[in-house]
Structure 1
Amino acid sequence: MGFLILVLLVVASWAVFKVITPGNFGSPKNLLSYFESSLMISAGAAGFYFVMVMGMFDFSIGANIMLSAIVGTTLASRFNMGYFGLIVGCILTGAIVGLLNGFFYVKLHIPSMIVTTGLALIYESIASYIAGGQSATLPSNLRKLGAMPGDLILAVIAFLVAYLLLNYTKIGTYTYAIGSNEFVAKNMGINVNLYKVIAFVISGAFFGIEAILTISYGSSMVAETGMASMSRNFYPTMGCFLGLALKKYGIPIPAIIIGEFFLQIIYYGFVALGAPTAVNDVISGLALLIIVTLTTKVGKGEIVK
C-alpha cells in the first residue's frame, strides 16, 4: 500500500504536467535529470530521518551542507587531497556539525530548532571565512560523483547504510523507541540523551554525503550568510515528513527516496510552466502543511512536543 501510494503520486504529478506542457517536461532525459537532483536531497534526508523520528528538528541543514562542501572542496583542491579529501572532508565536517548540534541540544535543554538556528549562523560564518569571500569550486577532474553512475553508487551506499542502521542495529531500535515514547524508553534504561546526540551525528554525516553530491553536481558552492542557507532546509524536511507518513508501512527510506523524486517532479513541472517561484513555494508549502497534518495527528490527552 505504501509503495502504491508513492507510485501513484509520482505518476499523477508527471501526467498532469506532461499534459499541460508536453514539449519541455517529462521526457526520459528530463526524468533522469529530475531523479539525479532528487538523489542528492534523498541522501541527506535518509540521515535526517533519525533526528525527525525522535521528534527533533534541525534548522542548520543548509549551513551544514554549505560548510561541508566548502571544507571538502578546499581539502580536495587547495591541499591536493583529491577524492579522499573531498569525501572524508565533507562527511567528517557534517558529522562534527551534527555532534555540535546534538551536544548543545542536550546540554542547553532548549528546543532543537532554536539551538540549530543559532548554530547555523556560526556555521555560515565559518564557511565564509574558509572560502575567503569567494565561491569554492571543485576541479573538473573531481566531479565524477556528480553524474551517473558515480552519484547513484554513492547515494545507494548511503541508503543501504541508513536502512541497515534503522533495521539491524541497536541504534535503530533505540531511535524508534525514543521516538515512540521517550519517557518509557528512559525507564527501560536507554540513555536517551546519548542516542539523541548519535542521531544528530548520523544526520550530519549524511548531509556531508549530500554535500559531496551537491558540489560534484553543481561544481561550486557560495558561502552564504544571514541565514540564507536555510533555503536548502525545505526539501530534506519534506522528504522526511513523507518517510514519517509511510513509516507505518515499514518503508521510511524508500518513501524518502520516491518522495523526493515526487517533489522534484512538481518543482520542475512549475519551472516548465514558467510559473513564478512564489507560486511554486505556495504549492510546496500547502503540500507540506497537508503532509504535516497527516503525520502529526495528536490523540486525546496527548501533548505536542
Structure 2
Amino acid sequence: MDTTKKSAEQVPFLERPIVRTVLPIAGFVIICVLFAFLTDGRLFQPKNLSLLLSQSYMLLISSIGVFMVMTMGGLDFSQGSMLGVASIVVCWLSHYNMILAAIGGVVTGGLIGLLNGYFNVKRKITSFIVTICSMYLFRGVCAYATTNSPVYAVSDISKYNTLPFMLTFTVIIFVIVYLVFTYTGLGYRLKAIGAGETAARYAGIRVERTKMLIFMTAGCITGLAAFVNAIKVGSVTSTSGNQLETQIMIALVLGGMPVNDGAKVKFYNIVLGVMTYKVLSSGLVMLMMPTQLQQLILGVIFLIEVALFSDRKTGMIVK
C-alpha cells in the first residue's frame, strides 16, 4: 500500500489523469463565463449561438481526421490545402449530382491522405515534414485551379445549408467514428501505436498498414468536411481552408488532446476543443480586437496548453 501511495505521489500534478480530464473542462467553463461577462451576454444570445454552431461543423468534422493521426503519434498539417482541393472537386461535381459531389470529395481527400501515408510509412519521412510539403503542394494546386475566378458549386446547393441537415450530417459522422474508435480493434491499434510502435509490433499489430489506413481515412473525413464547406460557402477561392490546420491543432490541444501519447486520448477532446476554440475566437471578434492581437492571444494559449499536455519524460515525438 505504501508503494502504491508513493508511486501516486511521484506522478507530477499536471500529469495525473484526473487533472488532465478536469483542466480542459474547467478551461471551457472559464472562457464561457469570461466572454459572457465581457460581451454582456451577447455572445450567448440565440442568434449568436446559432451562428457559432454553423461555423463549427467544418472544423468539427476535419478535426476527427487529425485526431486519429495524432492518436498514433503523428501530425497532419495538410488539412487546409486538402480541404481546398477537395472542395473544388465537390463544387465541380455538384453540377451533376450531390451524392457524386460528396463521393468526389471523399475520394480526393482519401488520395491525398494516401499520398501522405506513403511518404511517411514507405519513405520513412516524418509526418510533420510530409504534411508540410503536402500543404504547400496542394495549396498551389488550389491557387492554380482558381486563378481566373472562384470555382462555384451549383446554385441550389445552399438549400442543404440548414440546421437539421448540417447537424444531422455532423452527428452521424461523429457517431460512426466514435463507435469504430471505441469498440473496434482499429481504435485499440491506434492507441497502441501512439503509445509505442515497437511494443505495438511485438503485440502483432501491422503498424505500417494501420498508419497508411489512418492517413487515408483522415483524408476521406476531410473530404466530407469539404462537402460541408461547399454547402456553406457555395464556392472555392485560393484561400479556402487557409490556416485550417492551425485551427485544428489549437482546438484539439484546448480540448486536452495529448500531443504525443496516443494511449491517453479521449474522443470528447474533439468536441470540447472545437467548442472552446470557437467560443474563444468568436468572443475576441465580438470584442472587436485587432486580428494581430487575436493571433497573439491564441498563440500564447496554444503554447501554454502544449506545455501542460506534453510528456516531459519523452518530449515531442512526431512519427
Secondary structure of residue in 2 paired with 1:25: helix
Match of 1:75 in 2: 93
Structure 1 residue runs of 5 or longer lacking an equivalent are none
1:159-213, CA deviations, whole angstroms, 9 ceiling, x for partnerless residues? 1121112112221111011001111001222121111111111111111121111
For residue 69 of structure 1, report the CA deviation from its aligned partner: 0.6
For residue 243 of structure 1, report the CA deviation from its aligned partner: 4.9
**Could you tell me how far apart the structure 2 residues matched to 1:46 and 1:268 are?**
21
Secondary structure of residue in 2 paired with 1:19: helix
**Could you tell me how far apart the structure 1 residues matched to 2:203 and 2:303 are?**
34
**Could you tell me how far apart the structure 2 residues matched to 1:274 and 1:263 are?**
17
Secondary structure of residue in 1 paired with 2:72: coil
For residue 279 of structure 1, report the CA deviation from its aligned partner: 1.1
**Could you tell me how far apart the structure 1 residues matched to 2:41 and 2:244 are?**
29
Match of 1:172 in 2: 187
**Could you tell me how far apart the structure 2 residues matched to 1:249 and 1:85 are?**
37
The verdict on how the C-alpha distance between 1:191 and 1:155 changes in structure 2, with shifts beyond 3 A counting, is: same
Q: TM-score, normalised by structure 2?
A: 0.85
For residue 221 of structure 1, report the CA deviation from its aligned partner: 1.5
Indicate yes or no: 2:290 matched with 1:276.
yes
Bigger Rg, structure 1 or 2: 2
Indicate yes or no: 2:277 matched with 1:263.
yes
The verdict on how the C-alpha distance between 1:290 and 1:63 changes in structure 2, with shifts beyond 3 A counting, is: same
The verdict on how the C-alpha distance between 1:100 and 1:168 changes in structure 2, with shifts beyond 3 A counting, is: same
Secondary structure of residue in 2 paired with 1:252: coil
Match of 1:34 in 2: 52
Indicate yes or no: 2:218 matched with 1:203.
yes
Whether contact under 8 Å (2:73, 2:262) holds in the other structure is: no
Q: TM-score, normalised by structure 1?
A: 0.88
1:113-172, CA deviations, whole angstroms, 9 ceiling, x for partnerless residues? 111121223222333444453212223411344331111111111111211121122211
**Could you tell me how far apart the structure 1 residues matched to 2:315 and 2:302 are?**
21
Whether contact under 8 Å (1:95, 1:204) holds in the other structure is: yes
Match of 2:163 in 1: 148
Bigger mean CA offset, 255-264 vs 234-243: 234-243
For residue 245 of structure 1, report the CA deviation from its aligned partner: 4.3
Whether contact under 8 Å (1:10, 1:262) holds in the other structure is: yes
* Correspondent of 2:135 among 120, 139, 163: 120
* Correspondent of 1:236 among 231, 248, 267: 248
Alignment-mate amino acid for residue 254 of structure 1: Y
Matches within 5 A, 1:22-61: 22=40, 24-61=42-79
Bigger mean CA offset, 109-118 vs 170-179: 109-118
1:52-71, CA deviations, whole angstroms, 9 ceiling, x for partnerless residues? 11111111110100001110
Tell me the number of residue pairs that the alignment of Structure 1 and Structure 2 aligns: 297
The verdict on how the C-alpha distance between 1:6 and 1:243 changes in structure 2, with shifts beyond 3 A counting, is: closer
Whether contact under 8 Å (1:99, 1:201) holds in the other structure is: yes
For residue 85 of structure 1, report the CA deviation from its aligned partner: 2.3
Identity of aligned residues (%): 27
Alignment-mate amino acid for residue 43 of structure 1: I
Structure 2 residue runs of 5 or longer lacking an equivalent are 1-17
Secondary structure of residue in 1 paired with 2:257: helix
Whether contact under 8 Å (1:101, 1:119) holds in the other structure is: yes
**Could you tell me how far apart the structure 1 residues matched to 2:191 and 2:125 are?**
22
**Could you tell me how far apart the structure 2 residues matched to 1:220 and 1:272 are?**
26
**Could you tell me how far apart the structure 2 residues matched to 1:156 and 1:143 are?**
20
Root-mean-square deviation (Å): 2.5
Match of 1:291 in 2: 305
1:249-277, CA deviations, whole angstroms, 9 ceiling, x for partnerless residues? 98723221122111111111111111011
